[in-house]
Structure 1
Amino acid sequence: MRDSESFPGLHAWLDTPLGRYVMAWEAARFDAQVADIFGYNAVQLGVPELDFLRANRMPFRFRAGAGNVGVETDYAALPFAAGSLDLVVLPHVLEFAANPHQVLREVERVLVPEGHVVIAGFNPASLFGVKRMLAGKTGCYPWRGQYLSLRRLKDWLALLSFETGSQASGCFLPAVEQPQWLERLRGLDWAGDRWWPIGGGVYVIHAIKRVQGIRLIMPKWDRKAGARALAPLVQKAGGQPGSPGMRLDAGDDTPRP
């Protein structure tokens, strides 16, 4: 596991007042998203300190990545068979991964058809995004990395044949670390959710892996031609069909007794 894949600074930030505030909001959103997703196997990639699969009822749920996890892995090369997982949750992996698009490709590979992925990320078009811009490249976690907008993430998912579903944005407060200021500014969450619903500091989005079915294309038959080909040989008598005692010899147009 490379250092760029383990995000040690992010894990330390989770224990700050702002980190706990963000994780509490995300945990509630993940609970709502995964509660009614059914299957057999579910995996959480990233943020092993929290269990974002706790509300899910699949028989086999585990965490993978670095740290206190069931499976240690590189997010860009998952050690799971293709089409073996029903649900993957990605809390804050893509914005700090060295190759986020490859991580999504791996998620698409290991998911079954109609499998689900739930992603949490930091929103660049928010007060958190402003904090990241001011921090620059030398900023500490989580004010670094490549924040992905919802629009860009949806484009990536569409290229991998995912259909995006519900999404939520929250944590509209500025990136302040003092508990007293977090408490005083709580009203911004209500105002932001009402007046600027896409401007939250973090978002959670749900997507489903779609696989196009095979459609059998049948030839377009000419019904009239088919009916003519199946019509019985017409008996003729005196040029009129149905007259007894007369027949039409093959290759001869003359009626004979």
Structure 2
Amino acid sequence: MNNQIGQRFKHLLRAGPPHVASQEVALSNWYRSALGQRLVETERELVARGLAGRFGSHLLQLDSGLHEPLFEQRLFGCGTIVSQLDNRAPCPVVRADAEALPFEPESIDALVMHHTLDQCDNPYQAVREAAQVLRPGGLLVIVGFNPFSAWGARAVLSRAQAGVWRSRFIRSGRVADWMQLLDFEMERQEKHLFIPPYRRPEWLGRSGFLSRLQRRLLPVSGAVYLLVGCKQVAGRINGRPRWRARPVLKSGLTSRTIRNQYE
């Protein structure tokens, strides 16, 4: 029994969902449930906290089936959702893979990954692609599922073929290591949403005391994590030799002046 659970946990972390597009369809339906609405409400507050005090011209949200912007559109000149499927989101939508974004390098001011790493085929490549399209000083906000939570335990025991319980639950510390490796300065590392993964709305309404108790005793067991990093760029070194920077005859001392000194 223990071996089966261990193998299931390893498969969940390494393999992830079998098909990203079908997973997005399943998540789009799940977000409309009571538990999904509770999750979206919390994550909307987390994204607003991560983007607080930031303004810019271009913002990307790598979507995972929500098909709604988690950011305030008035704070950014152009907010775009990147999705695997066509949808009717109230903002521009681009169909693309998270591992191959069709944007110019250093052209985006802020990028939000909404459970992107939990669904894509290559999570590290997705973070690397985000680092490439962000401008120097750009902000990366990542929201993901925490494997060390009641939600992670249910995902291990679930037999679902698609949906939230078929997502890849990646440890937040591992994602933070990827971000630091790609020259991001970490600004926030937090855990949130201390509620059991109940499906019925009446059960969710009765979990207030347990949620407060869990938040106080086990603050690292939140269902979702928030990571916020600012892209850093090392200073450039001028490789041109200093003695060739200003030729002698162009420094204000003309050849006629030199000739007059020797006459």
Fold equivalence (TM over 0.5): yes
Alignment-derived partner of residue 47 in structure 2 = 30
Residue 177 of structure 1 deviates from its aligned partner by: 0.2
Alignment-derived partner of residue 189 in structure 1 = 211
Question: Where do 1:31-46 residues align within 5 Å?
Answer: 31-46=48-63
* Native 8 Å contact 1:13 1:141 kept in 2: yes
Q: Which has the higher mean CA deviation after the structures are superposed, 156-165 or 111-120?
A: 156-165
Question: Where do 1:1-257 residues align within 5 Å?
Answer: 3-5=19-21, 7-46=24-63, 47-54=65-72, 57-65=75-83, 66-68=85-87, 70-136=93-159, 138-214=160-236
Q: 1:196 to 1:104 in 2, by over 3 A?
A: same
Q: 1:194 to 1:158 in 2, by over 3 A?
A: same
1:167-193 deviation per Cα after TM superposition (whole angstroms, max 9, x unaligned): 332222221101111000022332232
Unaligned stretches of 5+ residues in structure 2: 1-17, 240-263
> Which structure features the higher share of helix residues?
2
The structure whose RCO (Cα within 8 Å, separation 6+) is larger is 2
Structure 1 stretches (4+) deviating beyond 6 angstroms? none
Equivalents in 2 of 1:23, 1:76: separation in Å? 24
Equivalent pairs, count: 215
Work out the percentage of aligned pairs sharing the same amino acid.
Answer: 30
Unaligned stretches of 5+ residues in structure 1: 218-257
* Native 8 Å contact 2:107 2:134 kept in 1: yes
1:95-114 deviation per Cα after TM superposition (whole angstroms, max 9, x unaligned): 11111111111101100011
Q: Which has the higher mean CA deviation after the structures are superposed, 58-67 or 89-98?
A: 58-67
Equivalents in 2 of 1:35, 1:67: separation in Å? 29
How large is the Cα RMSD of the aligned pairs?
2.0
Residue 67 of structure 1 deviates from its aligned partner by: 3.0
Equivalents in 1 of 2:37, 2:151: separation in Å? 15
Equivalents in 1 of 2:236, 2:186: separation in Å? 22
1:88-141 deviation per Cα after TM superposition (whole angstroms, max 9, x unaligned): 0011111111111111111011000111110110100000000011015x4431
Q: 1:148 to 1:100 in 2, by over 3 A?
A: same
- Which one has a bigger Cα radius of gyration? 1
Equivalents in 2 of 1:56, 1:170: separation in Å? 26
Amino acid at match of 1:154: A
